[in-house]
Structure 1
Amino acid sequence: MRLAIVTDAWRPQINGVVRTLERITAELTATGDTVEVIGPDRFRNFAMPGYGEIRLALLPRARLARMLDEIRPDALHVATEGPLGLAARAIAIRRGWRFTTSFHTRFAEYVSARTRIPPRATWALLRRFHNAGAGTLAATPSLREELVRRGFRRILPWTRGVDLELFRPGARDAWHGLPRPVFLYAGRVAVEKNIAAFLELDLPGSKVVVGDGPQRAALQSRHPAVHFAGWREGEALAHAYRGADVMVFPSRTDTFGLVLLEAMASGTPVAAFPVMGPKDVVGAGGVLDEDLHRACLAALEVPRAQARAEAERFSWPASARAFRESLTLV
């Protein structure tokens, strides 16, 4: 199969959408499919206001149409709702192509957190975008139920995976010198991640933030005792997870949370709110509580082997198979 994936989230961005698409592409290619990922890096692009590391394609429709003509895909997947996603949707509708989409990000809440635009207005636009396709892939039961309630049609299951070889238990010396226990956050440092809810907790030991983003400078100034480590990838990220005692996930708006799986696969239990994402993923691998302080302390008692066992329920080959089975011929 020749598959074209159009996405506004792609390298050099570091986030769950990019990591998911990278792994799915690798898995499908390994089993014989041809996968072409079309991201903003192949177009004239500009920085998203207030979020410089995110690049958006500038007027991509004509060039994208030529690319799709060259690829001649058997299937088209539109992964995001940005300029490239909108252009791909318009091209497909004009040509009478069938295509699938995926719902990764609760943009309605993210937009509302930064502006005064009410979430219902953004949800209406998202519903219109996705309902034009042959199906919308969603990662968790909680998300699929919400999308159905909001009027999205043809919702398809597509879970995620984790690299159990890279993210594994092992030496725990990453944060040598910091007082124990070490409570770790990993991910984008942005307002929608609700990181302040973690940093403001009165916890024993040390707090560590792995990642970067537009809120880093303000949070670092406000919390000088917190260790901000910046982005880490690959083995360095796995080492960071292993060295922590608890992974704290304060977000209330994520649709899945790959970092949850990565931490648990490394043997590190999770503390989080009982919301979409954590309640679908964590299971016995951590503690969910509306009192995040209580969850953090209780997670210290979760056996690390138990956290690892929860992560082992997920695999990238299974995720890739589910993704491929959802595709529809153009």
Structure 2
Amino acid sequence: MDESQMWAVQYRRYGGPEVMEVGQAAVPSPSAAQVLVEVSAFSLNQLDLDGRAGRMRPMMGFGFPKGSGVDFVGRVVQGGGRAAGVDDGDVVWGYTGLKPPGRAAAAAQYVATGADQVARAPRTIPPGEAAALPLVGLTALQALRALRVGSGKQVLVVGGNGGVGSATIQVARLLGAEVDAVVGRQSQAAERAGARQLYNYHSGGPEQITRKYDAVVNAAGASMLAYRRTTARGGEVMALSPAAIPLVVLSLLSPGARIRTMSARSVPEDLTWLADRVDDGSLVPIIDTSYELKDVARMHEDAQARSACGKRVVVVGQH
């Protein structure tokens, strides 16, 4: 076996789920500012679906094959000590951030990532469960902080049954808010996350909602202007979709709630906050399906064909 090579989830052209495969790439050599992590599990995110489908061409770099995956759980095998509290042999989790993936990304046997982009993973659950949380947890926590969500605030999460939505419900409740959610045919993830009231968008649009909210987190990217009208005076909407940028500008020029957007950043302190909440039992990874590595194409297919009900993860090994 050539130890300079590793497996990596890749695609050789843009297209549907059928383009996903497990190929090969060179084992990365970490820089002085990086750690090398042997990956135990990774999750599927909307970024992966958009990248594979060709919807992110401006930032994807040139050439094929392209790697996939942006968050992971695994063991540090080189470079430990460069991040506070992280040593060789430690199990960590992280988010690699938005960048061209090259031939390999986080869905690979090894990932080289900034020592400031990882933190210790939760100790009380296996990597295959922890992998459901890094990116969606960071997104939820940072979005809610930006909206100044705290004790007594009323929050509406649109898309509450997906990975980001179900994490946002839980984190908002941990910050002291009361949380309702908009869901589709599946509601189990939002219910498990602790949503107080559920609105089914199949049985009625935003007009069915009479309560006013201090903050609306739209994780689905749907009916942005309509959900803007569900905010209380001084309330804001966080749109977790790049497609919302024109509406952000529009909201600054027209009466009504401000629409904001953001991209999560990999902040070790935030990853540690999330890990602590998992370890004390107050934050739970909500998983739709766990797949084997050979089933990455089927995972993409399921994500396209089935309603979201938590996260999809791939487990490639246990530490």
Q: Normalising by structure 1, what TM-score?
A: 0.28
**Structure with more of its chain in strand, by fraction:** 2
Higher helix residue share: 1
